[in-house]
Structure 1
Amino acid sequence: MDCPAASNDEDGALSESFGDSCPDMSHEIDRDFTASSDNTDLMVLAEAASQVTPEPVTVSQETQTDDCPTMGPLKFLLCTTDGHAGTTQVTHAQQCHKVASTEGQWQRHSGFEGYSSLRNSEKALQSLCNVTPILFGILLNLLPDQRYRVVEMTKENKLALFLMKLKLGISLTALGTLFGVSKATASRAFKSVLDVLSVAMKDFVFVPHKGAIRDTMPEAFKVHHPRCTFIIDCTEIRTEVPSNVEQQHFLFSHYKGAYTLKFLIAIIPNGMIAFVSKLYGGRHSDSYITGNSGFLSHVKPGDEILSDKGFPHIVTSIEGKGAVIVMPPFSSGGQLSEEDMENTYKIAEVRIHVERAIQRLKVFNILTNRVPISLIPNMDKVINVCAAIVNLQSPIIAPK
């Protein structure tokens, strides 16, 4: 009797494993075989099969991996059987990288692209240029249209570069790199915008007539200083160390212990900057600058000027114009009287506004970083433009 062929779903693998036991099993069946019924045959076959020890099934495994550029969900899983070989193929779904890809809805741009990177972000424009979009538009309208068809920089980029120089105080080399132009081109752009705006904005810093000063005076002034016209102070800007001995003597400030530029600023009671002097070397006193800057020509009879203690030598000049200057009282080596203390507090309460105006000016880091010696000839224009921009911003003292 032939050995019965066992069948299995795995393409004959089970019958091949039992092939070596078939001769012995056939001999036993022949010896015990009788003309019995089919049921007897089945019982004999079952008993014989139960005495056979199956050989273990062996599987050969191979793995191949290919580089995958992305990680993500599986697109499909494919399993096949070829004889005794099983194959599994895994394919990742194609994905678009959210940052690096330049296709599809995840497209993004990186890097600074001049004004186009600022125009849609008020926060970025304020942070990098210290102006609002409306103020940027006002300044842009003050610049002339481009005269040449082919230009190195657009008018918008020139203004953005100029304002970033004022606000950030970084070098023209760095600005040229940001705008994709040479240092020489960046320098020309800065200088051209400075020249235009310093002329176009010269009337943005002015002394109003007395009626306007009174009409816009905050309540804090009306109570204690109703005749106040100006609050004045001097401030200094540090410079690089000059190589020339004469320049060193001219710029050295004993008060700061450094080389500085110094100027007088005067505001009216509502916080508007009304006067900015030209720049002087740090060696000059506050009184000297006030007396020689042209400020006294704006003082009229009946005016009251508030200042700190640095202006004692201009008292005579101001009183000669029929005006008065109010300064904190000096202590003669002893303690101030109660009345002097009260007057000091009253003056300080309103004088703080001129310090706030100076703080607004010095938001422009070009006035807080050390000024390069090469930039000093242009600093008068820089100061005037910065003061004009401050006057175009929201009021220092909010109107009630």
Structure 2
Amino acid sequence: MDILAHAAENIKMKEEYAKLILENENLKRSQVKQVDKGTSIDLSTQRFSCSFQYYTGFLYDRFYNVYNFFVPGVDLPFEFSKNISSLVSFSLEDQLLLVLIKLRQDFDFKHLSNMFGISSQDCSCLFTNWINYMFYRLGSLDIWPHRDIIIENMPEQFKTDYPNTIIIIDGTELKIQRPSSLHRQSQCYSDYKSCTTLKGLVGVDPRVSIVFASMLFSGSISDKEITHRSGFLDTLKSLLQSGKLQEGDGVMADKGFTIEKEINNVRLCLNIPPFVPSSASQMSGPAVAETIKIAKHRVHVERAICRVKQFKLLTNKVSLSLFSCVNQIWLVCCVLTNFMPFLIEK
């Protein structure tokens, strides 16, 4: 009889435990915010509400800041390249959520189709159309502020060390699936990464917001060549003409960017670590101190690139099937990081 009573008590405890879990889950869902218009969040959005930062890189409220930027009205401001019948009952919030999950976690389309209840073909089509629209929307933004705004918001230590340096640049590489063409393999092979890559140039302001992101080039390109071909120098010239930069403003870079002559021709100055003189066996004390000082600030562009590469679609080997929109994906991921909190407090 004691055994039966004990078993009954265990069943009762399990039922109460299950009830508590259910109540806790309902409480979490009740705390999910609603859209500004007061409409309810769709079920699939609720499903990920407690793990938004993991799935998308954004907290829940920032996700809606991003959403309101891309969808300022009631309807989607672009048309899909083909009719997708399953999207009739698929909310715009969930469409953007799917795209951000693909960028952040790089789940394959079969996985996403199971998560959202639409076919993998529809997931692929939705992703491609949204990425092209996001590229257009973000690419039309003027993300390079006036020099006065940049200087006003500089971290104090940076302002002390390099008060007129406006941008820090660095190159980064994305691993890609090996092309079948031997010529393409040779073009994209990176000695640094020992595999086929694409390379982009990134520029950040002193508070580590991305203000310049180039298109992607084959991985064999040098730092100096990508500075020329990316349009970075032309951008500096146009910013000088518009008054957003002034003569004598600085650009900070690593030693690999042997572009002092080109920067001086634009009437700006280049801050890079000093080289060891050919007549000396080692650096002088002041040169070592300058190297350390530059490295202390230049490391932040690497932090910005690291944040971009937290979008795993760029960290994993980029599939050849995505090559038609790889530049769009790259730029979207770069500019989306500007919707995140500052990496450096003022």
- Normalised to the residue count of structure 1, the TM-score between the two structures is 0.70
In structure 2, do the counterparts of structure 1 residues 153 and 349 end up closer, same or farther at CA, with 3 Å as the change threshold? same
* Per-residue deviation, residues 313-367 of structure 1 (Å, max 9, x unmatched): x221111111111111222472211111011011011111111111111111111
Alpha-carbon offset, residue 192 of structure 1: 2.1
Task: Say which SS state the counterpart of residue 201 (structure 1) adopts.
Answer: helix
State the match for 1:257 in structure 2.
194
State the match for 2:134 in structure 1.
197
Alpha-carbon offset, residue 152 of structure 1: 5.3
State the match for 1:13 in structure 2.
none
Distance in 2 (CA, whole Å) between partners of 1:270 and 1:106 is 40
Distance in 1 (CA, whole Å) between partners of 2:86 and 2:322 is 31
Task: Say which SS state the counterpart of residue 183 (structure 2) adopts.
Answer: helix
State the match for 1:318 in structure 2.
263
State the match for 2:35 in structure 1.
none
Moved more, 375-384 or 227-236: 375-384
Stretches of structure 2 that go unaligned for 5 or more consecutive residues are: 27-42, 80-84, 241-246
In structure 2, do the counterparts of structure 1 residues 204 and 271 end up closer, same or farther at CA, with 3 Å as the change threshold? farther
Tell whether the 8 Å contact from 1:229 to 1:303 is kept in structure 2 after alignment.
Answer: yes
Distance in 2 (CA, whole Å) between partners of 1:317 and 1:394 is 34
Task: Say which SS state the counterpart of residue 243 (structure 1) adopts.
Answer: coil
Distance in 1 (CA, whole Å) between partners of 2:24 and 2:309 is 41
* Per-residue deviation, residues 128-151 of structure 1 (Å, max 9, x unmatched): 110122221122222362698971
Q: Is 1:165 matched up with 2:102?
A: yes
Alpha-carbon offset, residue 283 of structure 1: 0.9
Distance in 2 (CA, whole Å) between partners of 1:107 and 1:272 is 37
What is the 5 A alignment of 1:42-121? 71-73=7-9, 96=15, 98-99=17-18, 114-119=44-49, 121=50
Distance in 1 (CA, whole Å) between partners of 2:24 and 2:142 is 48
State the match for 2:38 in structure 1.
none
What is the 5 A alignment of 1:1-400? 71-73=7-9, 96=15, 98-99=17-18, 114-119=44-49, 121=50, 124-141=51-68, 142-143=70-71, 145=75, 151=88, 153-204=90-141, 206-299=143-236, 300=240, 301-312=247-258, 314-331=259-276, 332=278, 334-399=281-346
Among all aligned residue pairs of Structure 1 and Structure 2, give the percentage whose two residues are the same amino acid.
Answer: 31
Tell whether the 8 Å contact from 1:96 to 1:106 is kept in structure 2 after alignment.
Answer: no
In structure 2, give the amino acid aligned to 1:317.
Answer: E
* Per-residue deviation, residues 156-175 of structure 1 (Å, max 9, x unmatched): 22111111111112212221
Distance in 2 (CA, whole Å) between partners of 1:107 and 1:267 is 41
Task: Say which SS state the counterpart of residue 260 (structure 1) adopts.
Answer: strand
| Cα root mean square deviation, aligned | 3.0
Alpha-carbon offset, residue 377 of structure 1: 2.2
In structure 2, do the counterparts of structure 1 residues 263 and 315 end up closer, same or farther at CA, with 3 Å as the change threshold? same
Higher relative contact order (CA 8 A, sep 6+): 2
Aligned pair count reads 308
Distance in 1 (CA, whole Å) between partners of 2:152 and 2:12 is 72
Alpha-carbon offset, residue 227 of structure 1: 1.1
Tell whether the 8 Å contact from 1:230 to 1:266 is kept in structure 2 after alignment.
Answer: yes
Distance in 2 (CA, whole Å) between partners of 1:258 and 1:351 is 26
Task: Say which SS state the counterpart of residue 8 (structure 2) adopts.
Answer: coil
Tell whether the 8 Å contact from 2:66 to 2:339 is kept in structure 1 after alignment.
Answer: no
State the match for 2:30 in structure 1.
none
Distance in 2 (CA, whole Å) between partners of 1:264 and 1:149 is 39
Tell whether the 8 Å contact from 2:53 to 2:59 is kept in structure 1 after alignment.
Answer: yes
Tell whether the 8 Å contact from 1:205 to 1:391 is kept in structure 2 after alignment.
Answer: no
In structure 2, do the counterparts of structure 1 residues 290 and 93 end up closer, same or farther at CA, with 3 Å as the change threshold? closer
Instruction: Please identify the structure whose Cα radius of gyration is greater.
Output: 1
